[in-house]
């Protein structure tokens, strides 16, 4: 859970990671932090980001990616995306399914 500006959010469902080497799918939990904010027409937009590396439990392929979450307007989920996915065997077949994210007022 991350608290900022009187609101908090949580990535409350794990992502599914698909290993491009062996095809195994497994749960991963992202660690997300506040990155920056931007002034927009309806107030601030907050950007949160988490970069992590996860080991496939079946073949030890190291799969990394970056999760970005955007809050706009304040207290509302705008969108999320997972980018920069790579793995240690350079399969170009590994991917993450996006987690569910929720914002709550305190």
| Termini Cα distance of the chain | 12
Spatial distance between the Cα atoms of 102 and 58, rounded to a whole number of angstroms:
31
Domain ranges, ordered by start, for the chain: 2-105
What does the pLDDT look like over 5-14, one tens digit per residue? 545 666 656 7
Report residue 12 as tokens: 């409350």
Look up the pTM and report it.
Answer: 0.84
Q: Is 51 exposed, middle or buried (0-12, 13-18, 19+ CB in 10 A)?
A: middle
Query: pLDDT-based confidence at 76, cuts 50/70/90?
Result: confident
pLDDT for residue 2 is more than 60: no
Residue 10 per-residue DSSP state: E
Question: What pLDDT is recorded for position 27?
Answer: 94
């Amino acid at each position: 859970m991350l608290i900022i500006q009187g609101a908090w959010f949580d990535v409350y469902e794990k992502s599914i990671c698909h290993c491009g080497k062996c095809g195994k799918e497994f749960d991963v939990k992202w660690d997300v932090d506040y990155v920056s904010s931007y002034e927009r027409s309806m107030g601030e937009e907050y950007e949160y980001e988490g970069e992590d590396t996860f080991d496939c439990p079946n073949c030890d392929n190291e799969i990394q990616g970056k999760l970005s979450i955007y809050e706009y307007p304040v207290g509302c989920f705008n969108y999320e995306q997972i980018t920069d996915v790579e793995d240690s065997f350079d399969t170009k077949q590994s991917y993450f399914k996006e987690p569910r994210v929720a914002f709550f007022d305190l």
